[in-house]
Amino acid sequence: MSASLKAIDGTAELPSLMADLATRARAAARVLSLASPEQKNRALDAMERAIRARASAILAANAEDVAEARASGATSAFIDRLTLTQARIDAMADGIRTVRDIADPVGVVTESWQRPNGMTIERVRVPLGVVAVIFESRPNVAADAGVLCLKSGNAVILRGGSDSFRSCRAIHVCLVQGLREADLPEAAITLVPTRDRAAVGLLLTGLNGGIDVIVPRGGKSLVARVEAEARVPVFAHLEGVNHVYVDHAANLEMAKSIVLNAKMRRPGVCGAAETLLVDRAGAATSLKPLVEMLIDAGCEVRGDDVVQRADSRVKPASDEDWDTEYEDAIIAARIVDGVDEAIAHIHHHGSHHTDAIVTEDAKTAQKFLNEVDSAIVLHNASTQFADGGEFGFGAEIGIATGKFHARGPVGAEQLTSFKYRVHGTGQTRP
């Protein structure tokens, strides 16, 4: 570890350091909330240029992080998430340009109406304020989250996993350079300048009103800790225990294509399907082809009794399987008695993330879409569309599974609040 890293690790001054960060972020947020779209885009352009120009410095910093992680025995999956390549750096820079090109949400009048007394009321989007993003080993989140917060007029405090500290710092240098070139305050995007894990606990307290919302980006244990400890609002992004229900009135070819895509396109993303529900009334024709297809594609199928009989390679499902987010090429599969039992199963076992029905029956589809209480419900489409880009949001900071403020893909618009502007001509209230 370099001297400069050691110097700020584990000092007794951490609480005052963090309080100071929050104060400066709050002041920056006020400036940002009034910045023009052009000024913010100038910063984003400069950030993109800086990321591309400093790619070798970022890769060098990342190599140090990776070496340290390897030496400490990190898993290969961990190393993969931590490692940056030229391609990943290019993707980061491209992502900044994508955010630059999103419509600026701030200042947009979403509703406007006149009252009988002649007053006009407008509802207009304003930034939330200061967003804290707590993430794990993927250093690219520093850029992705930083620029999305900037676009939406929010200041952001970034806290990456301590293993990715050098990488995040190298990326942060580029973001700050962009702010500087656009005459925006550097505290608009702050990286917590210490690897001390106590900093996370301090962020979760809200730093005495200094933080308006916390966005956890990472695995279950991080999200669970944030949910349990946070004293400020959290954009909860819980697991995606997502279902595909194949109704008896499904087109079998469509069902096969959707199920395969929903599970196997990328088994590790949060929009991947984890459970297949097959309508008993259609099982005679649909079950065997679906199960065979999955297993032939390299997916482990864990089934109930009926599903086990469909193919000898099916493993028995335990009670736990119905509640599990595998994030892997594994799917739980069971028979249900029609759409009602499918809805009941999802109500009981789902995580309110993303669920799909395959059917040619419009009425059944409508029932499913209405009654399944998830952020995203799809008819005849793959659950893997659960993604801000696929929704047309340009970019996202995560998929919210709570119902408060944001739900589903959290894009620039969901990172705003609103206020009411009232235009009068001297009205007083009787």
Which stretches of the chain bind its own copies, using CB under 8 A? 30, 33-34, 107, 113, 115, 119, 121, 126, 128-129, 212-213, 233, 251, 254, 257-258, 260-262, 265, 347, 369-371, 373-382, 384-385, 387, 390-392, 403-405, 407-408, 417-429
CB 86 within 8 A of CB 58: no
Cβ proximity to its own copies: between 19 and 380 the closer is 380
Q: Is the dihedral of CA 159, 165, 171, 175 positive or negative?
A: positive
Integer Cα distance of 211 and 231 in angstroms: 10
Of 133, 52, 53, 48, nearest in space to 96 by CA: 48
Q: In this complex, which beta carbon is closest to its own copies, that of residue 100 or of residue 263? A: 263
Minimum distance, C-beta of residue 418 to its own copies, in the bound complex (Å): 6
| Cα 23 → chain centroid | 26
* Residue 57 half-sphere exposure toward CB, CA atoms < 13 A: 12
3-state secondary structure of 430: coil
- Closer CB to its own copies, residue 308 or residue 351? 351
Element at 89 (helix H, strand E)? helix 86-101
CA-based angle 203:174:205, to the nearest 5? 5
Cβ-count burial of 374 within 10 angstroms (0-12 exposed, 13-18 middle, 19+ buried)?
buried
Closest approach, Cβ 417 to its own copies, in A, equals 4
Q: Based on the number of CB atoms within 10 Å of its own CB, is 48 exposed (0-12), middle (13-18) or buried (19 or more)? A: buried
Nearer to its own copies, 67 or 362 (CB): 362
Query: Closest CB to its own copies among 98 and 251?
Result: 251
Greatest pairwise CA separation for the chain in angstroms: 79
67 C-beta neighbours (distance < 10 Å), count: 10
Closest CA relative to residue 203, chosen from 195, 215, 211: 211
Q: Which is nearer to its own copies, 40 or 54 (CB)?
A: 40
Q: 182 or 358: whose CB is closer to its own copies?
A: 358
CB of 95 to its own copies, least distance (A): 18
CB of 350 to its own copies, least distance (A): 13
Find out whether 117 and 142 touch, Cβ atoms under 8 Å. Answer: no
Shortest gap between Cβ of 361 and its own copies (angstroms)? 14
* Least distance to its own copies, CB of residue 333, Å: 19
Q: Which residues are CB-contacts of 2 (< 8 A; sequence separation ≥ 6)?
A: none
Q: How far is the CB of 129 from its own copies (least distance, A)?
A: 7
Q: How far is the CB of 379 from its own copies (least distance, A)?
A: 5
CB closer to its own copies, 62 vs 351: 351
